[in-house]
Structure 1
Protein backbone atom coordinates (compact mmCIF):
# COMPACT_ATOMS: atom_id res chain seq x y z
CA UNK A 1 0.00 0.00 0.00
CA UNK A 2 1.40 3.39 -0.92
CA UNK A 3 1.87 5.88 1.88
CA UNK A 4 0.54 9.43 1.53
CA UNK A 5 3.23 12.13 1.54
CA UNK A 6 6.21 9.77 2.12
CA UNK A 7 8.68 12.54 1.25
CA UNK A 8 9.18 15.63 3.46
CA UNK A 9 8.12 18.83 1.68
CA UNK A 10 10.10 22.08 1.72
CA UNK A 11 8.41 25.23 0.48
CA UNK A 12 10.96 27.54 -1.11
CA UNK A 13 9.99 31.18 -1.61
CA UNK A 14 12.54 32.76 -3.95
CA UNK A 15 13.17 34.45 -7.27
CA UNK A 16 13.58 32.75 -10.62
CA UNK A 17 17.09 32.82 -12.09
CA UNK A 18 17.01 31.92 -15.81
CA UNK A 19 20.69 30.92 -15.72
CA UNK A 20 19.85 28.14 -13.25
CA UNK A 21 22.69 28.97 -10.91
CA UNK A 22 20.75 30.53 -8.07
CA UNK A 23 17.16 31.11 -6.96
CA UNK A 24 14.39 28.60 -7.39
CA UNK A 25 16.36 26.06 -9.46
CA UNK A 26 19.20 26.06 -6.96
CA UNK A 27 16.70 25.48 -4.17
CA UNK A 28 14.95 22.65 -5.97
CA UNK A 29 18.25 20.85 -6.62
CA UNK A 30 19.47 21.34 -3.06
CA UNK A 31 16.19 20.28 -1.50
CA UNK A 32 15.91 17.21 -3.75
CA UNK A 33 19.50 16.26 -2.87
CA UNK A 34 18.42 16.02 0.77
CA UNK A 35 15.67 13.56 -0.21
CA UNK A 36 12.84 16.09 0.00
CA UNK A 37 10.14 17.38 -2.31
CA UNK A 38 10.42 21.06 -3.25
CA UNK A 39 7.29 23.22 -3.42
CA UNK A 40 8.53 26.35 -5.27
CA UNK A 41 6.78 29.68 -4.76
CA UNK A 42 8.09 32.40 -7.08
CA UNK A 43 8.60 35.82 -5.46
CA UNK A 44 10.27 37.63 -8.37
CA UNK A 45 11.36 37.29 -11.96
CA UNK A 46 14.89 38.32 -12.87
CA UNK A 47 16.90 38.99 -15.98
CA UNK A 48 20.33 37.58 -15.20
CA UNK A 49 23.12 35.34 -16.37
CA UNK A 50 26.22 33.87 -14.74
CA UNK A 51 27.79 37.33 -14.57
CA UNK A 52 25.15 39.54 -12.94
CA UNK A 53 21.50 40.55 -12.51
CA UNK A 54 20.19 43.14 -14.96
CA UNK A 55 16.55 43.45 -13.96
CA UNK A 56 14.36 42.48 -11.00
CA UNK A 57 10.57 42.26 -11.27
CA UNK A 58 8.88 41.42 -7.94
CA UNK A 59 5.56 39.60 -8.23
CA UNK A 60 2.37 41.02 -6.81
CA UNK A 61 2.30 40.11 -3.09
CA UNK A 62 -1.21 38.72 -3.45
CA UNK A 63 0.03 36.28 -6.09
CA UNK A 64 2.91 35.15 -3.86
CA UNK A 65 0.44 34.66 -1.02
CA UNK A 66 -1.98 32.73 -3.23
CA UNK A 67 0.77 30.39 -4.46
CA UNK A 68 1.82 29.55 -0.92
CA UNK A 69 -1.71 29.22 0.45
CA UNK A 70 -2.75 26.82 -2.31
CA UNK A 71 0.07 24.45 -1.42
CA UNK A 72 -0.24 24.80 2.35
CA UNK A 73 -3.95 23.96 2.17
CA UNK A 74 -3.18 20.75 0.29
CA UNK A 75 0.24 19.44 1.36
CA UNK A 76 1.98 19.20 4.76
CA UNK A 77 5.05 21.45 4.54
CA UNK A 78 7.93 20.54 6.87
CA UNK A 79 10.18 23.59 6.34
CA UNK A 80 10.23 27.01 4.71
CA UNK A 81 13.28 28.27 2.81
CA UNK A 82 13.30 31.98 1.91
CA UNK A 83 15.62 33.60 -0.62
CA UNK A 84 15.06 36.77 -2.64
CA UNK A 85 12.02 38.50 -1.14
CA UNK A 86 11.62 41.18 -3.78
CA UNK A 87 9.55 43.84 -2.01
CA UNK A 88 8.25 44.94 1.41
CA UNK A 89 4.76 43.85 0.36
CA UNK A 90 5.99 40.30 -0.17
CA UNK A 91 7.68 40.38 3.24
CA UNK A 92 4.33 41.33 4.77
CA UNK A 93 2.55 38.31 3.29
CA UNK A 94 5.43 36.03 4.34
CA UNK A 95 5.05 37.32 7.87
CA UNK A 96 1.37 36.38 7.80
CA UNK A 97 2.22 32.88 6.56
CA UNK A 98 4.86 32.33 9.22
CA UNK A 99 2.51 33.55 11.95
CA UNK A 100 -0.13 31.07 10.76
CA UNK A 101 2.38 28.18 10.69
CA UNK A 102 4.65 28.84 13.70
CA UNK A 103 5.60 25.17 14.03
CA UNK A 104 7.35 25.11 10.62
CA UNK A 105 11.07 26.03 10.74
CA UNK A 106 12.15 28.97 8.58
CA UNK A 107 15.56 29.14 6.91
CA UNK A 108 16.27 32.63 5.56
CA UNK A 109 19.07 33.39 3.11
CA UNK A 110 19.11 37.21 3.15
CA UNK A 111 19.74 38.03 -0.51
CA UNK A 112 20.91 41.66 -0.66
CA UNK A 113 23.10 41.57 -3.78
CA UNK A 114 23.90 39.29 -6.69
CA UNK A 115 27.25 37.55 -6.92
CA UNK A 116 28.13 39.78 -9.86
CA UNK A 117 27.60 42.90 -7.79
CA UNK A 118 24.04 44.01 -8.59
CA UNK A 119 22.58 45.54 -5.44
CA UNK A 120 18.95 44.75 -4.57
CA UNK A 121 18.45 48.14 -2.85
CA UNK A 122 20.29 46.88 0.20
CA UNK A 123 19.25 49.52 2.76
CA UNK A 124 15.59 49.13 1.81
CA UNK A 125 15.82 45.33 1.66
CA UNK A 126 17.79 45.09 4.92
CA UNK A 127 14.93 46.80 6.74
CA UNK A 128 12.46 44.44 5.04
CA UNK A 129 14.41 41.34 6.06
CA UNK A 130 14.69 42.49 9.67
CA UNK A 131 10.89 42.45 9.99
CA UNK A 132 10.95 38.68 9.44
CA UNK A 133 13.69 37.82 11.93
CA UNK A 134 11.37 36.93 14.84
CA UNK A 135 10.05 34.06 12.69
CA UNK A 136 13.46 32.77 11.53
CA UNK A 137 14.94 29.53 12.80
CA UNK A 138 18.30 29.89 11.02
CA UNK A 139 19.56 33.01 9.26
CA UNK A 140 22.42 32.33 6.81
CA UNK A 141 24.06 35.65 5.80
CA UNK A 142 27.52 35.91 4.34
CA UNK A 143 29.79 38.38 6.13
CA UNK A 144 28.88 41.24 3.79
CA UNK A 145 25.15 40.66 4.33
CA UNK A 146 25.63 40.38 8.10
CA UNK A 147 27.27 43.81 8.19
CA UNK A 148 24.45 45.32 6.12
CA UNK A 149 21.77 43.79 8.32
CA UNK A 150 23.48 45.11 11.48
CA UNK A 151 25.25 48.33 10.35
CA UNK A 152 25.68 49.58 13.91
CA UNK A 153 27.94 46.61 14.80
CA UNK A 154 31.72 46.90 14.51
CA UNK A 155 32.59 43.18 14.35
CA UNK A 156 30.95 40.08 12.90
CA UNK A 157 30.40 38.78 16.42
CA UNK A 158 28.55 42.00 17.21
CA UNK A 159 26.51 41.65 14.00
CA UNK A 160 25.40 38.21 15.08
CA UNK A 161 24.48 39.44 18.55
CA UNK A 162 22.41 42.27 17.05
CA UNK A 163 20.54 39.83 14.81
CA UNK A 164 19.91 37.40 17.66
CA UNK A 165 18.57 40.31 19.71
CA UNK A 166 15.81 40.62 17.10
CA UNK A 167 14.62 37.14 18.10
CA UNK A 168 16.26 35.15 15.31
CA UNK A 169 17.04 31.71 16.79
CA UNK A 170 20.34 30.86 15.05
CA UNK A 171 22.70 32.92 12.88
CA UNK A 172 25.23 31.18 10.64
CA UNK A 173 27.63 33.73 9.10
CA UNK A 174 29.62 32.38 6.17
CA UNK A 175 33.15 33.64 5.58
CA UNK A 176 33.86 33.26 1.89
CA UNK A 177 34.05 37.05 1.46
CA UNK A 178 36.66 37.47 4.20
CA UNK A 179 40.38 37.74 3.44
CA UNK A 180 41.42 34.53 5.18
CA UNK A 181 43.46 31.53 3.95
CA UNK A 182 40.59 29.18 4.80
CA UNK A 183 36.88 29.86 4.94
CA UNK A 184 35.58 30.19 8.49
CA UNK A 185 31.82 29.97 9.07
CA UNK A 186 30.53 30.91 12.52
CA UNK A 187 27.33 29.81 14.27
CA UNK A 188 25.63 31.86 17.00
CA UNK A 189 22.66 31.26 19.29
CA UNK A 190 21.66 32.02 22.88
CA UNK A 191 23.59 35.31 22.72
CA UNK A 192 26.93 33.63 22.14
CA UNK A 193 29.21 32.02 19.61
CA UNK A 194 28.38 28.32 19.48
CA UNK A 195 30.85 26.95 16.94
CA UNK A 196 33.27 27.81 14.15
CA UNK A 197 33.67 25.64 11.05
CA UNK A 198 36.77 25.79 8.86
CA UNK A 199 36.71 24.79 5.20
CA UNK A 200 39.32 24.71 2.47
CA UNK A 201 39.03 27.84 0.32
CA UNK A 202 38.16 26.89 -3.25
CA UNK A 203 39.71 28.76 -6.20
CA UNK A 204 36.63 30.15 -7.93
CA UNK A 205 33.63 32.43 -7.39
CA UNK A 206 30.28 30.62 -7.40
CA UNK A 207 26.78 31.62 -8.47
CA UNK A 208 24.21 30.34 -5.98
CA UNK A 209 26.35 29.13 -3.08
CA UNK A 210 24.13 30.82 -0.48
CA UNK A 211 20.99 29.33 -2.01
CA UNK A 212 22.63 25.91 -1.96
CA UNK A 213 23.51 26.11 1.73
CA UNK A 214 20.11 27.37 2.87
CA UNK A 215 18.17 24.91 0.70
CA UNK A 216 20.19 21.95 1.95
CA UNK A 217 19.71 23.07 5.54
CA UNK A 218 15.95 23.40 5.03
CA UNK A 219 15.86 19.90 3.54
CA UNK A 220 17.78 18.38 6.43
CA UNK A 221 15.54 20.06 9.01
CA UNK A 222 12.50 18.82 7.08
CA UNK A 223 13.94 15.31 7.43
CA UNK A 224 13.93 15.75 11.20
CA UNK A 225 17.63 16.37 11.67
CA UNK A 226 18.72 18.16 14.83
CA UNK A 227 19.71 21.76 14.08
CA UNK A 228 23.44 21.59 14.84
CA UNK A 229 23.88 18.36 12.89
CA UNK A 230 21.88 19.77 9.97
CA UNK A 231 23.99 22.95 9.90
CA UNK A 232 27.21 20.96 9.66
CA UNK A 233 25.90 18.56 7.01
CA UNK A 234 24.50 21.43 4.92
CA UNK A 235 27.93 23.08 4.89
CA UNK A 236 29.60 19.82 3.93
CA UNK A 237 27.15 19.29 1.06
CA UNK A 238 27.63 22.87 -0.15
CA UNK A 239 31.42 22.59 -0.09
CA UNK A 240 31.26 19.41 -2.19
CA UNK A 241 28.84 21.07 -4.62
CA UNK A 242 31.23 24.00 -5.04
CA UNK A 243 34.27 21.74 -5.33
CA UNK A 244 32.54 19.96 -8.23
CA UNK A 245 31.33 23.21 -9.79
CA UNK A 246 31.64 24.05 -13.47
CA UNK A 247 31.83 27.17 -15.61
CA UNK A 248 29.36 27.14 -18.48
CA UNK A 249 29.05 30.88 -19.08
CA UNK A 250 31.21 33.96 -19.06
CA UNK A 251 30.84 34.64 -15.34
CA UNK A 252 30.87 32.68 -12.11
CA UNK A 253 31.08 28.93 -11.73
CA UNK A 254 27.86 27.01 -11.09
CA UNK A 255 27.69 24.67 -8.09
CA UNK A 256 27.24 21.02 -9.01
CA UNK A 257 24.44 20.31 -6.57
CA UNK A 258 23.91 16.88 -8.13
CA UNK A 259 27.53 15.79 -7.65
CA UNK A 260 26.31 12.76 -5.74
CA UNK A 261 24.74 11.40 -8.95
CA UNK A 262 27.92 11.77 -11.01
CA UNK A 263 29.17 8.40 -12.28
CA UNK A 264 32.69 9.79 -12.59
CA UNK A 265 32.72 10.73 -8.91
CA UNK A 266 31.62 7.22 -8.04
CA UNK A 267 34.31 5.80 -10.28
CA UNK A 268 36.97 7.92 -8.62
CA UNK A 269 35.78 6.78 -5.22
CA UNK A 270 35.97 3.14 -6.31
CA UNK A 271 39.58 3.66 -7.41
CA UNK A 272 40.70 5.00 -4.00
Structure 2
Protein backbone atom coordinates (compact mmCIF):
# COMPACT_ATOMS: atom_id res chain seq x y z
CA UNK A 1 0.00 0.00 0.00
CA UNK A 2 1.35 3.43 -0.93
CA UNK A 3 0.83 6.71 0.88
CA UNK A 4 -1.40 7.88 -1.95
CA UNK A 5 -3.99 5.11 -1.51
CA UNK A 6 -3.89 4.80 2.28
CA UNK A 7 -7.46 5.15 3.63
CA UNK A 8 -6.35 7.86 6.07
CA UNK A 9 -3.39 10.15 5.28
CA UNK A 10 -0.51 9.62 7.70
CA UNK A 11 1.80 12.38 8.94
CA UNK A 12 4.95 11.48 10.86
CA UNK A 13 5.86 14.17 13.38
CA UNK A 14 9.26 14.56 15.01
CA UNK A 15 8.37 16.51 18.14
CA UNK A 16 9.08 17.09 21.79
CA UNK A 17 6.71 15.99 24.52
CA UNK A 18 5.10 18.90 26.38
CA UNK A 19 3.50 17.74 29.66
CA UNK A 20 1.22 20.80 29.71
CA UNK A 21 -0.39 19.57 26.50
CA UNK A 22 -0.23 22.96 24.82
CA UNK A 23 2.58 22.42 22.34
CA UNK A 24 4.71 19.61 20.97
CA UNK A 25 3.35 16.22 20.09
CA UNK A 26 -0.13 16.79 21.54
CA UNK A 27 -0.53 19.96 19.49
CA UNK A 28 0.51 18.02 16.39
CA UNK A 29 -1.94 15.20 17.04
CA UNK A 30 -4.89 17.52 17.71
CA UNK A 31 -4.20 19.64 14.62
CA UNK A 32 -3.79 16.60 12.40
CA UNK A 33 -6.95 14.96 13.71
CA UNK A 34 -8.73 18.19 12.80
CA UNK A 35 -7.61 17.72 9.20
CA UNK A 36 -8.59 14.08 9.02
CA UNK A 37 -5.09 12.66 9.35
CA UNK A 38 -3.46 9.95 11.43
CA UNK A 39 -0.34 10.97 13.36
CA UNK A 40 2.68 8.77 13.90
CA UNK A 41 4.61 10.61 16.64
CA UNK A 42 8.37 10.28 17.02
CA UNK A 43 9.54 11.87 20.27
CA UNK A 44 12.77 13.87 19.98
CA UNK A 45 12.95 15.58 23.39
CA UNK A 46 11.43 15.17 26.83
CA UNK A 47 10.64 18.56 28.32
CA UNK A 48 9.77 19.92 31.73
CA UNK A 49 7.45 22.82 31.06
CA UNK A 50 4.20 24.50 31.96
CA UNK A 51 2.10 27.17 30.25
CA UNK A 52 4.64 29.84 31.23
CA UNK A 53 7.99 28.50 30.02
CA UNK A 54 10.30 25.51 29.55
CA UNK A 55 12.06 24.64 32.81
CA UNK A 56 14.31 21.92 31.41
CA UNK A 57 14.65 19.35 28.66
CA UNK A 58 16.48 16.14 27.76
CA UNK A 59 17.20 15.32 24.11
CA UNK A 60 16.65 11.69 23.13
CA UNK A 61 19.55 9.78 21.64
CA UNK A 62 19.75 10.14 17.86
CA UNK A 63 19.73 6.37 17.37
CA UNK A 64 16.53 6.06 19.42
CA UNK A 65 14.87 8.78 17.32
CA UNK A 66 15.86 6.94 14.14
CA UNK A 67 14.68 3.57 15.47
CA UNK A 68 11.26 4.99 16.36
CA UNK A 69 10.84 6.43 12.87
CA UNK A 70 12.17 3.49 10.87
CA UNK A 71 10.00 0.97 12.71
CA UNK A 72 6.93 2.92 11.57
CA UNK A 73 8.18 3.70 8.07
CA UNK A 74 8.72 0.00 7.37
CA UNK A 75 5.12 -0.69 8.37
CA UNK A 76 2.94 2.33 7.54
CA UNK A 77 2.82 4.54 4.42
CA UNK A 78 3.63 8.13 5.43
CA UNK A 79 2.41 11.04 3.31
CA UNK A 80 4.21 13.99 4.97
CA UNK A 81 6.94 14.58 7.55
CA UNK A 82 6.56 17.39 10.09
CA UNK A 83 9.63 18.48 12.07
CA UNK A 84 9.32 20.28 15.39
CA UNK A 85 11.55 20.54 18.46
CA UNK A 86 15.12 19.39 17.77
CA UNK A 87 17.55 20.09 20.60
CA UNK A 88 20.71 18.25 19.54
CA UNK A 89 22.84 17.87 16.44
CA UNK A 90 22.41 14.10 16.87
CA UNK A 91 18.68 14.49 16.38
CA UNK A 92 19.15 16.67 13.30
CA UNK A 93 21.60 14.21 11.78
CA UNK A 94 19.35 11.23 12.47
CA UNK A 95 16.35 12.90 10.86
CA UNK A 96 18.43 14.10 7.91
CA UNK A 97 19.41 10.50 7.20
CA UNK A 98 15.76 9.40 7.30
CA UNK A 99 14.62 12.20 4.99
CA UNK A 100 17.43 11.24 2.60
CA UNK A 101 15.90 7.77 2.33
CA UNK A 102 12.41 9.15 1.58
CA UNK A 103 13.08 12.13 -0.72
CA UNK A 104 9.62 11.94 -2.32
CA UNK A 105 7.81 12.74 0.96
CA UNK A 106 7.14 16.49 1.57
CA UNK A 107 8.64 18.01 4.71
CA UNK A 108 7.16 20.80 6.86
CA UNK A 109 9.75 22.24 9.27
CA UNK A 110 8.80 24.31 12.30
CA UNK A 111 12.17 25.53 13.62
CA UNK A 112 11.44 25.58 17.36
CA UNK A 113 14.53 27.45 18.53
CA UNK A 114 13.22 29.32 21.57
CA UNK A 115 10.17 29.35 23.83
CA UNK A 116 7.56 32.05 24.01
CA UNK A 117 9.11 32.94 27.35
CA UNK A 118 12.47 33.53 25.68
CA UNK A 119 14.36 30.38 26.72
CA UNK A 120 16.70 29.17 23.96
CA UNK A 121 16.17 25.53 22.98
CA UNK A 122 18.86 25.21 20.32
CA UNK A 123 22.50 26.21 20.45
CA UNK A 124 24.59 27.46 17.53
CA UNK A 125 25.63 23.94 16.52
CA UNK A 126 21.99 22.83 16.26
CA UNK A 127 21.06 25.94 14.29
CA UNK A 128 23.97 25.33 11.90
CA UNK A 129 22.90 21.70 11.47
CA UNK A 130 19.30 22.70 10.71
CA UNK A 131 20.55 25.17 8.10
CA UNK A 132 22.96 22.75 6.46
CA UNK A 133 21.08 19.45 6.69
CA UNK A 134 17.34 20.09 7.00
CA UNK A 135 16.56 23.27 5.06
CA UNK A 136 17.64 21.67 1.74
CA UNK A 137 15.10 18.91 2.48
CA UNK A 138 12.27 21.25 3.54
CA UNK A 139 9.16 21.87 1.45
CA UNK A 140 7.59 24.46 3.79
CA UNK A 141 9.50 26.29 6.54
CA UNK A 142 7.43 28.15 9.16
CA UNK A 143 9.70 30.38 11.30
CA UNK A 144 8.43 33.25 13.38
CA UNK A 145 10.41 36.46 13.00
CA UNK A 146 12.71 35.68 15.94
CA UNK A 147 13.49 32.22 14.57
CA UNK A 148 14.14 33.64 11.10
CA UNK A 149 16.71 36.02 12.57
CA UNK A 150 18.41 33.16 14.42
CA UNK A 151 18.55 31.01 11.29
CA UNK A 152 19.80 33.86 9.07
CA UNK A 153 21.78 36.25 11.29
CA UNK A 154 23.62 37.56 8.25
CA UNK A 155 20.43 39.19 6.90
CA UNK A 156 19.64 42.83 7.65
CA UNK A 157 15.83 42.62 7.38
CA UNK A 158 13.09 40.02 7.70
CA UNK A 159 12.66 39.96 3.94
CA UNK A 160 16.36 39.30 3.57
CA UNK A 161 16.07 36.53 6.19
CA UNK A 162 13.39 34.84 4.10
CA UNK A 163 15.51 35.10 0.94
CA UNK A 164 18.49 33.64 2.80
CA UNK A 165 16.38 30.71 3.99
CA UNK A 166 15.24 30.07 0.41
CA UNK A 167 18.89 30.16 -0.65
CA UNK A 168 19.64 27.55 2.02
CA UNK A 169 17.21 25.19 0.35
CA UNK A 170 13.66 25.65 1.66
CA UNK A 171 11.08 25.60 -1.14
CA UNK A 172 8.55 27.83 0.67
CA UNK A 173 9.13 30.09 3.68
CA UNK A 174 6.09 31.27 5.63
CA UNK A 175 7.44 33.95 7.94
CA UNK A 176 4.95 34.64 10.73
CA UNK A 177 4.60 38.05 12.35
CA UNK A 178 3.14 37.29 15.76
CA UNK A 179 6.30 38.51 17.54
CA UNK A 180 6.44 41.83 15.69
CA UNK A 181 5.05 45.04 17.18
CA UNK A 182 2.35 45.61 14.57
CA UNK A 183 -1.40 46.32 14.96
CA UNK A 184 -2.27 43.22 12.93
CA UNK A 185 -0.35 40.00 12.46
CA UNK A 186 1.22 39.92 9.01
CA UNK A 187 2.49 36.59 7.71
CA UNK A 188 4.61 36.62 4.55
CA UNK A 189 5.04 33.75 2.12
CA UNK A 190 8.18 33.53 -0.01
CA UNK A 191 9.17 31.15 -2.80
CA UNK A 192 11.09 31.25 -6.08
CA UNK A 193 13.29 34.09 -4.78
CA UNK A 194 10.37 36.46 -4.22
CA UNK A 195 7.53 37.43 -1.93
CA UNK A 196 4.48 35.45 -3.09
CA UNK A 197 1.75 36.70 -0.75
CA UNK A 198 1.10 38.48 2.53
CA UNK A 199 -1.68 37.41 4.87
CA UNK A 200 -3.09 39.82 7.47
CA UNK A 201 -4.86 38.56 10.59
CA UNK A 202 -6.48 40.38 13.49
CA UNK A 203 -4.10 40.38 16.45
CA UNK A 204 -5.73 38.49 19.31
CA UNK A 205 -5.40 39.52 22.93
CA UNK A 206 -2.86 37.64 25.04
CA UNK A 207 -0.14 35.14 24.19
CA UNK A 208 -0.56 31.54 23.10
CA UNK A 209 1.36 28.34 23.81
CA UNK A 210 1.61 26.01 20.83
CA UNK A 211 0.50 28.26 17.99
CA UNK A 212 3.55 27.48 15.84
CA UNK A 213 3.11 23.72 16.26
CA UNK A 214 -0.55 24.11 15.33
CA UNK A 215 0.22 26.02 12.13
CA UNK A 216 2.97 23.72 10.90
CA UNK A 217 1.00 20.55 11.61
CA UNK A 218 -2.05 22.02 9.89
CA UNK A 219 0.01 22.68 6.77
CA UNK A 220 1.36 19.12 6.95
CA UNK A 221 -2.11 17.66 7.31
CA UNK A 222 -3.51 19.59 4.37
CA UNK A 223 -0.55 18.59 2.20
CA UNK A 224 -1.22 14.99 3.23
CA UNK A 225 -4.81 15.43 2.05
CA UNK A 226 -3.49 16.31 -1.41
CA UNK A 227 -3.65 20.11 -1.29
CA UNK A 228 -0.98 22.03 -3.16
CA UNK A 229 1.31 24.12 -0.90
CA UNK A 230 -0.14 27.61 -1.43
CA UNK A 231 -3.70 26.50 -0.63
CA UNK A 232 -2.54 24.39 2.31
CA UNK A 233 -0.58 27.33 3.75
CA UNK A 234 -3.57 29.66 3.40
CA UNK A 235 -6.14 27.27 4.85
CA UNK A 236 -3.84 26.26 7.71
CA UNK A 237 -3.57 29.90 8.79
CA UNK A 238 -7.36 30.19 8.88
CA UNK A 239 -7.62 27.07 11.05
CA UNK A 240 -4.85 28.25 13.36
CA UNK A 241 -6.32 31.73 13.80
CA UNK A 242 -9.70 30.21 14.69
CA UNK A 243 -8.12 27.82 17.19
CA UNK A 244 -6.42 30.80 18.84
CA UNK A 245 -9.59 32.90 18.81
CA UNK A 246 -11.33 30.06 20.65
CA UNK A 247 -8.34 29.45 22.95
CA UNK A 248 -8.56 29.07 26.69
CA UNK A 249 -6.42 29.64 29.77
CA UNK A 250 -6.20 26.65 32.12
CA UNK A 251 -2.88 27.49 33.76
CA UNK A 252 -1.11 30.58 35.05
CA UNK A 253 0.70 31.37 31.80
CA UNK A 254 -0.21 31.55 28.14
CA UNK A 255 -3.52 30.56 26.64
CA UNK A 256 -3.76 27.23 24.81
CA UNK A 257 -5.23 26.98 21.31
CA UNK A 258 -8.55 25.18 21.10
CA UNK A 259 -7.59 22.98 18.17
CA UNK A 260 -10.82 20.98 18.48
CA UNK A 261 -13.11 24.02 18.31
CA UNK A 262 -14.87 22.44 15.34
CA UNK A 263 -16.16 19.56 17.48
CA UNK A 264 -18.08 21.93 19.76
CA UNK A 265 -19.47 23.78 16.73
CA UNK A 266 -20.74 20.49 15.29
CA UNK A 267 -22.46 19.61 18.58
CA UNK A 268 -24.14 23.01 18.68
Offset, 1:5? 3.5
1:79-112 deviation digits (Å, cap 9, x = unpaired): 0000001210111111111110001000000001
- Find out whether 1:26 has 2:27 as its counterpart: yes
Deviations 1:25-47 (A, max 9, x none): 00000111110000000001000
The corresponding residue for 1:38 is 39
> For residues 232-271 of structure 1, what are the structure 2 equivalents within 5 Å?
232-263=234-265, 267=268
Structure 1 segments (4+ residues) deviating >3 Å: none
- Partner SS state of residue 177, structure 2: coil
Match of 2:7 in 1: 6
Secondary structure of the structure 2 residue equivalent to 1:198: strand
Q: Which residue of 1 aligns with 2:81?
A: 80
**1:155 match:** 157
- In structure 1, C-alpha distance between the alignment counterparts of 2:149 and 2:117, rounded to whole Å: 19
Number of residue pairs the alignment of both structures matches: 263
Task: Identify the residue that residue 270 of structure 1 maps to in structure 2.
Answer: none
8 A Cα contact 1:80 1:106, kept in partner: yes
Which residue in 2 is equivalent to 1:136?
A: 138
CA distance in 1, matches of 2:101, 2:129: 19
Spell out the pairing of 1:1-272 with structure 2 (5 A cutoff).
5-131=6-132, 132-263=134-265, 267=268
Q: TM-score, normalised by structure 2?
A: 0.96
Distance 1:31 1:196, change over 3 A: same
Root-mean-square deviation (Å)? 1.1
Aligned partners of 1:117, 1:51: CA distance in 2, in Å?
Answer: 10
**TM-score of the pair, normalised by structure 1:** 0.95
Give me the whole-angstrom Cα distance separating, in 1, the residues matched to 2:243 and 2:129. Answer: 30
Q: CA deviation at 1:122?
A: 4.1
| Equivalent position SS for 1:218 | helix
Match of 2:196, SS state, is: strand
Contact 1:112-1:125 within 8 A present in 2 as well: no
Contact 1:33–1:258 (8 Å) recurs in 2 = yes
CA offsets per residue over residues 124-179 of structure 1, 9 Å max, x none?
Answer: 33212112100000000000100111001011110011010011100000001111
SS state of the match for residue 31, structure 1?
A: helix
